[in-house]
Amino acid sequence: MCMKSLLKTVLLLLLLVPSAQRAQAQPKMLTLDDAVQLALKNNRQLEISRLEMEKADARVTEAYGTALPNISAAGQYSRALKKPVFFIPDPQNPSSGRIVPLEIGADNSIQFGFTATQILFNSAVFTGVGTAKIYQQASRELYRGSYNQTVSNTKRAFYAAVFMRNVFLMSQAGLKNAEDNLKTVQMMNTQGLVSDYDFIRAQVQVDNIRPSVVEAERNVALMTNNLKLVMGMSPGEDIAVTGELEFDPVDPALLERAEESAIAENANLRALDLQKRVSDAIVSITRSEWYPTLAAFGNYQWQAQKNSFRFGGEDFVRSSQVGLSLSINLFNGMQSVARLNQAQIDYQKLDEQDKMAHDGLRTNVQNIRFRLAEASRRIQSQSKTVEMAERGYKIATTRYSAGNGTQLEVNDADLALLRARVNRIQAVFDYNVARADLEETLSLVTPQ
């Protein structure tokens, strides 16, 4: 009985293994939302932008720190290998004119104390705090720009994968039409109803379509791999996209104010404007090198000297002092002038970049509006073309079956139908890509 039970178990396992393998072989199905979420989670450039935000936060803390008191503690021990001296007239015979050295200090010296300083006036300190806050805002705008770019890139890659999948399916459908037609022609040729020429034409039609199916299948793999790259997935993972390319017209009101919205909301442009403000603040900070710096200071220290190592509390002497320090840069070899010139040039460069970015953004919005309008017209036109091509193919095959048409008519109708379907889905794809570009340009997506 045990052997029979063992055999049953082994057989059951052998039956289950192929099922498990088939289950594992199923690709992971991804919707557009799934793809976007994976990209936002795995995209390395977005992570770099997030780390830059943390760095900017730390810079703000650092800038505030320069305006706060600076307190430090320091201690020192020294052993005199040869005690220092100072010279005095010979105390035993002052009239001799002799100068004799007199040792001072002890063999061991200990000193410990606290020092505190507080900036009372320094233009660079207070300007630096505001500059750090502007830089902090700029880092958040750059993150928002990277976030929108990641979403847009993912959408474009996903649309491309869906488009290629549809082209592949349409090519397969066209191949099936040609193969069905070949079977009909072959049967009629066997019965002597059509010529060998028609049979050859039908066979050539099938052979001509088959390479396009293979090419479309390859393009599906390429676009799927590109999508995996954008999402930060391993190339070895097996995925498949689900969903269709839908024609969802953009709100006309959004298109009407697109240019103004882009200038006001584009994250990269806003980041550039903030960077220009940072550069302007750096000019002010550099110019402040000529301004005075006023600081308050104070210190408190204990010090003792002794020839032995036996120090007690009574050996230490305490001292303290407070005061003000004022420093002014009078001349430093023209270094400040050179730094000011560099800061002003950097500001001018950013100003030119800002102007160029404004012009480029307006042009980009106009181009996107043109692409949307052109793709929309193609969708409407190709939708009617597909309907007519489907009717034409049905008429051609019916006429040929009745002996009133030619194989050439069937081939032409088949190719026209395939071309019309591909042209329509191409138009929908182009519209969706342009829509994704518009969303990125307007920075419509808010980071989560």
Given this model, what pLDDT does residue 10 score? 44
Confidence of residue 176 (pLDDT cuts 50, 70, 90): confident
Give the SS3 label for residue 116: strand
Distance between CA atoms of 264 and 259, rounded to whole angstroms? 9
pLDDT of residue 25: 58
Please report the pLDDT score of residue 126 as a whole number. 78
Asked if the model's pLDDT at residue 313 lies above 60, the reply is yes
Contact 324, 296 (CB under 8 A): yes
Give the CA distances from residue 140 to residues 125, 149, 261, in Å, rounded to whole numbers and listed in that order: 23, 14, 19
In the prediction, which pLDDT does 296 show? 95
Residues forming a β-bridge with 322: 298
Q: Which of 2-11, 19-28, 138-147, 354-363 has the lowest mean pLDDT?
A: 2-11
> Which of 50, 244, 278, 276 lies closest to 163, judged by CA?
244
Is residue 2's pLDDT more than 90?
Answer: no
d(CA 343, CA 358): 23
pLDDT of residue 88: 84
| DSSP notation for 413-437 | HHHHHHHHHHHHHHHHHHHHHHHHH
Of the candidate ranges 18-22, 234-238, 352-356, 382-386, the one whose mean pLDDT is the lowest: 18-22
CA 21 to centroid of chain Cα atoms: 37
Residues 380-400, mean pLDDT to the nearest whole number: 87
Instruction: State the CB neighbour count (10 A cutoff) for residue 236.
Output: 6
CA dist list (Å): 10 to 3, 15, 21: 11, 9, 17
The residue extents of the domains of the chain are 28-68+122-291+335-441, 70-121+293-327
Kindly report, residue by residue over 60-117, the tens digit of the pLDDT.
998 888 888 999 999 999 998 888 888 888 788 877 778 888 888 888 999 999 999 9
> Above 60 in pLDDT, residue 11?
no
- In 242-316, where do the E strands start and end? 293-306
Residues 228, 229, 231, 232: is their CA dihedral positive or negative? positive
Given the candidates 1.10.3470, 1.20.1260, 2.60.40, 2.20.200, the CATH classification of the domain at 70-121+293-327 is 2.20.200
Give me the mean pLDDT over the 429-442 stretch: 95
The mean predicted confidence, pLDDT, of the chain is 87
pTM for the structure as a whole: 0.79
- What is the side-by-side strand order in the sheet with 317-327? 70-79, 108-121, 293-306, 317-327
Given a cut of 90, whether residue 139 has pLDDT beyond it is yes
Give the list of residues 6+ apart from residue 149 with CB closer than 8 angstroms, or none: 45, 440
pLDDT in the model for residue 173: 82
Has residue 408 got a pLDDT over 80?
no
Predicted local distance difference test score (pLDDT) of residue 21: 47
pLDDT surpassing 70 at residue 4: no
Q: Which residue has the higher pLDDT, 192 or 254?
A: 254
- pLDDT at position 14, please? 46
401 with 413: CB under 8 angstroms? no
* pLDDT tier for residue 235 given thresholds of 50, 70 and 90: confident
Model confidence over 164-174: pLDDT tens digits? 998 898 888 88
Closest CA to 233 of 52, 48, 37, 429: 37
CATH 1.20.1600.10: does it fit domain 28-68+122-291+335-441? yes
Check residue 442 and report its DSSP letter. T
Token reading at 266: 């584009």
State CA 176 to chain mean position distance. 44
Highest mean pLDDT among 86-95, 197-206, 314-323: 314-323
Neighbours of 439 (CB within 10 A): 18
Look at residues 314, 317, 304 and name the one whose alpha carbon lies nearest to residue 78: 304
pLDDT category of residue 364 using cuts at 50, 70 and 90: very high
**CA-based R_g, the chain, Å:** 41
- What integer pLDDT is reported at residue 175 of this predicted model? 86
Contact 424, 385 (CB under 8 A): yes
Predicted confidence (pLDDT) per residue in 184-195, tens digit? 888 888 888 778
- Identify the pLDDT of residue 419: 84
